Amino acid sequence: MPHPASPGPRALGDRVFLWLCGTGQRELPEVRRAMVLTLREPFLVSLLASFWAQIVAGMAFWITGAAWALAWLLSDLVLLVLRLWCSRLITVAEQQGRRLPMRRVLLVNAVWLTWVAAGISLSIRQPSLYLVVVSAMIASGFSGYCVSRWQAFPRLAALYLYVLWAAVCVGLLTSPLPELHLLAWLMPAAAYAFQVLLGLNHQIVIGALRAQQENRRLSMHDPLTELPNRLMLRERLVALCRGLPDGHRFAVLCLDLDGFKAVNDRHGHAAGDWLLKSVARRLADVVRAEDLVCRLGGDEFVVLLPGADEAVTAEIAQRMLQALAQPHDLGGLVDLPARASIGVALAPLDGGEPDPLLLAADEGLYAAKRDGKGCWRRTGQPANG
């Protein structure tokens, strides 16, 4: 029996990267995204972190005149620009609702922090007690930076802590000052102490992110049907409108049930609630994976169809009408009717902003009701459905 092919270098590298960026627990996509957002660094923090690295590099160059110190000083400026650029990438991706560039951001920061570790190690090897003291102070400072800035990714942060303190250890062991050699044996304990602090910080930040995302989920979902609510609709609609200048398109469908008040009056509000949940399930079943079905309240629903043209929109609207027209069995007690009317607006043809598009879809809904209900309409277009 042939052995399975071993993973290539790229696949193996991806696995190692994903493991390093893991936490040992399965996180929801929303929590994972919030973890990556913690990598976004304020300008002042980036500037100060780079400033202290350049202090040591500048002192090393002033004392030794070595080429490596000058290279460290200049390259840190380049890496500062790249780090600021990475933070900007995260901000833009978040604003546009795109995938966050986690790999690129972590790679740039890992190169910078590893370069700092190498510079500190070379500085400690110099026969200057002033440089040794400042380098040790900066090593502790950057350990605290790592514990606070990379706390969402404990494995990656722990790896850097041990790389940093291993660099300090090598610097002490090879120092021309013999009295420093014994201090090298304390460095593993320093790395471990910072790792313990990292673990505590990680638990705090992950707990906060999970609570934040749960609160966000509750605030953006309808408690009855568990569909997204008006807040999430507005957020997604704004994001879709931002993509219109790039040639993207989408459709907005406003839907409400015909005769829903009669169901409540005849069978009670419990039956009405059950019908709304049944309608929500059927709508979710007939739309595509990328579409968003929202409940605004009462029997009002809005559906967003990203990338849909007029033909696709018409097909999905018709499927929705057919699915809802089938009787809704209330536990074998009674079959509840649920005809619906739908208004359609196409972006950018009917508007390029959320409010005009919702208004156009609402006008289409009123047109559908005027034309006898149980159909879909788009304002200004011939009758359909």
The percent of residues in the chain predicted with pLDDT above 90, rounded, is 49
Which tens digit of pLDDT belongs to each residue from 326-347?
877 766 556 666 788 999 999 9
pLDDT of residue 258: 83
Backbone angles phi, psi at 172, to 5 degrees: -70, -40
Distance between CA atoms of 26 and 18, rounded to whole angstroms? 12
Residue 8 has pLDDT above 70, yes or no: no
Which tens digit of pLDDT belongs to each residue from 275-321?
888 889 999 999 998 999 999 988 899 999 999 999 999 999 999 99
* 316: helix, strand or coil: helix
More confident residue, 361 or 36: 361
Question: What type of residue sits at position 123?
Answer: S
Residue 374 Rama label (left phi>0; alpha psi -120 to 50; beta)? left
Cis before 348? omega within 30 = yes
Question: Predicted confidence band at 2 (pLDDT cuts at 50, 70, 90)?
Answer: very low
In DSSP terms, 376 is beta-bridged to 342
**For the chain, what is the mean pLDDT?**
87
Q: How far is CA 84 from CA 45, 50, 91, 136, in A?
A: 10, 11, 11, 26
pLDDT of residue 348: 92
pLDDT of residue 333: 54
pTM of the model: 0.65
pLDDT of residue 51: 93
| Positions of CATH 3.30.70.270 in the chain | 230-378
For the chain, the maximum distance between any two Cα atoms, rounded to a whole number of angstroms, is 95
More confident residue, 326 or 355: 355
Burial pattern 254-284, b for ≥16 Cβ within 10 A else e, equals bbbbbebeebbeebeeebbebbbbbbbebbe
Q: What is the mean pLDDT of residues 94-105?
A: 79
Q: Report the CATH number of the 230-378 domain.
A: 3.30.70.270
Distance between CA atoms of 327 and 329, rounded to whole angstroms? 6
Q: Is 126 exposed, middle or buried (0-12, 13-18, 19+ CB in 10 A)?
A: buried
Which tens digit of pLDDT belongs to each residue from 183-212?
888 888 989 999 999 999 999 998 888 888
Closest CA to 106 of 151, 150, 50: 150
pLDDT of residue 141: 92
Closest CA to 275 of 328, 232, 327: 328
Whether the CB-CB separation of 377 and 318 falls below 8 Å is answered with: no
Whether the CB-CB separation of 305 and 315 falls below 8 Å is answered with: no
